[in-house]
């Protein structure tokens, strides 16, 4: 009885579906198109290249919060921040050791009452600041430390100066964050600057991966993705042709 009932039910269902295919199609296709559109749309967008980069967002966010001085020891992971900061009028002061950058930012914080800012490169650049960060924590000085970091896709894979920076510093800062993409830069920095001065003031740490700072053109060149195109664009008898590596 059960098997015959199931058979009758299935046949009835198939009959209903067959008779209403146009209506079902009109409903199902727009529904699936609506769900899949966010995934399909990027395939039809043209790739746009720009010379703007995440370092400009960092500099503008700091400038908007009244930062006048930035202490640093120059490194490749953080260069876009330093270049952009100098362009918009933030005084970039280069020191001889990363710990001195944080000590100087701490001094600015104590003398002015504003958030002191230090920017250091990834890995050993960040770990070198521990003594000064602990000093700022004990003194309750509002301070923002921005550290470079390995590219997001290379974290934990032995990339240059790839260190678990958050794990190292979390005991000496009151707030820490790791940027995952460019759109997070401004909101995270705003939160960090707020946390540095709210409640009991203290140091905060934000790490920004290198691929969130450099523009796409520079990343592509660094990864040798455009070498073949450049080789074809150069004349074979030119001096530059021999220097291009494919």
Least confident of 21-35, 76-90, 183-197, 215-229: 215-229
Taking residues 156-164, what's their average pLDDT? 78
From the list 90, 86, 87, 144, the residue with the least C-alpha distance to 117 is 144
Tokens of 113: 């009452």
pLDDT (tens digit, 9 = 90+) per residue, 36-86? 877 777 667 665 555 678 899 999 999 999 999 999 999 888 999 999 999
Q: How confident is the model at residue 237 (pLDDT cuts 50, 70, 90)?
A: low
Taking residues 127-145, what's their average pLDDT? 95
User: What's residue 191's pLDDT?
Assistant: 95
Statement: residue 175 has pLDDT above 90: yes
Q: How confident is the model at residue 232 (pLDDT cuts 50, 70, 90)?
A: very low
User: What's residue 231's pLDDT?
Assistant: 43
H/E stretch holding 92 reads strand 91-94
Statement: residue 223 has pLDDT above 70: no
Q: Where are the alpha helices (DSSP H) in the chain?
A: 2-19, 21-40, 54-64, 79-87, 98-112, 124-127, 130-139, 165-169, 185-197, 216-222, 227-233, 239-243
Taking residues 206-231, what's their average pLDDT? 62
pLDDT (tens digit, 9 = 90+) per residue, 100-133? 999 999 999 999 989 999 999 998 999 999 999 9
Tokens of 225: 């993705």
Statement: residue 162 has pLDDT above 90: no
Tokens of 39: 């995934």
**Better pLDDT: 140 or 31:** 140
97 contacts: CB under 8 Å, gap ≥ 6: 73, 128
Residues paired with residue 118 on neighbouring β-strands, in sequence order: 71, 145
Query: Considering the chain, what is the average pLDDT of its residues?
Result: 82
């Amino acid at each position: 009885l059960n098997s015959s009932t199931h058979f009758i039910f299935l046949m009835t269902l198939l009959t209903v579906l067959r008779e209403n295919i146009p209506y079902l199609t009109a409903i199902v296709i727009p529904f699936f198109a609506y769900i899949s559109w966010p995934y399909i749309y990027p395939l039809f967008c043209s790739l746009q290249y720009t010379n703007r980069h995440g370092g400009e967002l960092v500099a503008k966010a700091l400038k908007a919060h009244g930062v006048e001085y930035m202490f640093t020891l120059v490194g490749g992971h953080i260069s876009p921040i330093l270049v952009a900061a100098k362009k918009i009028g933030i005084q970039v002061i280069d020191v001889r050791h990363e710990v001195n950058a944080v000590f100087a930012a701490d001094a600015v914080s104590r003398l002015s009452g504003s958030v002191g800012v230090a920017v250091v490169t990834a890995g050993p650049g960040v770990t070198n600041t521990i003594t000064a960060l602990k000093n700022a924590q004990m003194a309750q000085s509002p301070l923002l430390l921005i550290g470079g970091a390995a590219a997001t896709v290379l974290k934990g894979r032995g990339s240059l100066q790839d260190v678990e920076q958050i794990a190292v510093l979390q005991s000496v800062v009151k707030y820490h964050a790791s940027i995952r993409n460019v759109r997070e830069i401004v909101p995270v920095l705003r939160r960090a600057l707020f946390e540095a001065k709210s409640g009991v003031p203290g140091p905060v740490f934000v790490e920004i991966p290198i691929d969130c700072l450099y523009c796409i053109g520079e990343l592509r060149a660094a990864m040798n993705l455009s070498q073949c195109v450049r080789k074809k664009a150069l004349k074979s008898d030119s001096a530059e042709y021999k220097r291009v590596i494919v």
